Structure 1
Amino acid sequence: MMTIEKKSYKIRKSGNSDVTTIPQEVKDRLGVETGGAIRYVFLPDGTIKLEKAQEKVNIDLIVESVMDQYEDAIKDLIDL
């Protein structure tokens, strides 16, 4: 029979949010590092599954960031 190990972690207040610790063992099993993203999956039976989130690249946000960064240079080129 498979033994299920359970561990409890406190939920703390941090600003307007609640936070808890993600143990290294959990990060290792999920394949995430500090700064990575996780996703909560709410299942019909009421349980919640934790999984590594597949981060999507937002090309519009990247283009906007580049445009903001080089706005003055682009305007100077246009004025030539």
Structure 2
Amino acid sequence: MNDVDIKKYKVRKSGNSDVTTIPVEVKEKLNLKTGESIRYIFETDGSVKIVKAEEEVDVDSIVDAVMSQYEQAIKDLVDL
């Protein structure tokens, strides 16, 4: 068996949820920053894998930001 560093973390109650600590080593391994999301992958063998969730791009807010930034220029082009 490999030399494995095993740490135990307690599950605590927080409101209606159960929570636990994410160790610094796990955050570093996942390149995870505070405020980012994780996903749980439930494997067929009964194990659970934790991965960094890919942030979904909100296309509508990007379009809104671009439109408001260039609103006057677009109006000027339409008026030509």
Give TM-score, length-normalised by structure 1: 0.69
Q: Deviations over 1:18-76 (max 9, x none)?
A: 1100011110011001101111111110000111111111334x37x97xxxxxxxxxx
When Rg is computed on C-alpha atoms for both structures, the one with the higher figure is: 2
**Which residue matches 2:10?**
10
Matched, 1:56 2:56: yes
Structure 1 segments, 4+ long, off by >6 Å, are: none
* Residue in structure 2 matched with residue 69 of structure 1 by the alignment: none
Matches within 5 A, 1:41-80: 41-60=41-60, 62=61
* Identity percentage of aligned residues: 53
CA distance in 2, matches of 1:45, 1:5: 22
Compute the TM-score of the two structures, normalised by the length of structure 2: 0.69
Q: Which whole-Å CA distance do the structure 1 matches of 2:54 and 2:26 have between them?
A: 17
Q: Residue 33 of structure 1 aligns with which residue? A: 33
List runs of 5+ in structure 2 lacking aligned partners: 66-80
Q: Tell me the distance in 2 between the aligned counterparts of 1:27 and 1:3.
A: 21
In structure 1, stretches of 5+ residues that fail to align are 67-80
* SS at structure 1 position matched to 2:51: strand
**1:72 matched residue in structure 2:** none
